[in-house]
């Protein structure tokens, strides 16, 4: 019984710890790819201003005039940066699927004792 409790507690710890780590990793991937995509697609807009604007749609649209190619390119830069984060999450999901095949299966249910049945008495053989 103690082994199953230990296994469940380790599973919860691993899920929580990996979620905390990969939120930071995903944020770093998004930030760095947004800087790179902004420099590549919209060199006229400062990447620091893009990061300072945050994720608000109004703040992003204030960085470039409406209907200009800069606004379309800036929105494309945000889209590309988000795509990279999605690629990271898809890769992690694929890794976890393949890792799950190596874990095996252990039945932790208690085995029920089989009911004892007496063998039926044999009928005397007729002569």
pLDDT at 25 over 90: yes
At 38, is the secondary structure helix, strand, or coil? helix
Q: Which residue has the higher pLDDT, 105 or 1?
A: 105
Q: What is the pLDDT of residues 89-111, one digit of tens each?
A: 999 999 989 888 887 777 767 77
Query: Is residue 41 a contact partner of residue 74, using CB atoms and an 8 Å limit?
Result: yes
Q: What is the pLDDT of residues 26-80, one digit of tens each?
A: 999 999 999 999 999 999 999 999 999 887 888 888 898 888 999 999 999 999 9
Residue 72's pLDDT is what?
93
Burial class (CB in 10 A: 0-12, 13-18, 19+), 88: middle
Q: Where are the alpha helices (DSSP H) in the chain?
A: 2-41, 47-53, 57-61, 69-101
Question: Which pTM value belongs to this model?
Answer: 0.73
């Amino acid at each position: 019984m103690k082994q199953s409790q230990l296994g469940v507690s380790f599973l919860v710890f691993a899920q929580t710890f990996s979620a905390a780590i990969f939120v930071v990793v995903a944020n770093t991937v998004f930030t760095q790819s947004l800087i790179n995509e902004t420099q590549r697609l919209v060199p006229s807009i400062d990447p620091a201003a893009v990061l300072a604007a945050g994720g608000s749609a109004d703040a992003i649209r204030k960085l470039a005039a409406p209907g200009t190619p800069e606004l379309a390119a800036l929105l494309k830069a945000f889209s590309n940066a988000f795509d990279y984060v999605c690629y990271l999450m898809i890769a992690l999901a694929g890794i976890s699927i393949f890792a799950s095949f190596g874990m095996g299966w252990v039945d932790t249910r208690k085995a029920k004792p089989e009911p004892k049945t007496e063998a039926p008495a044999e009928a005397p053989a007729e002569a």
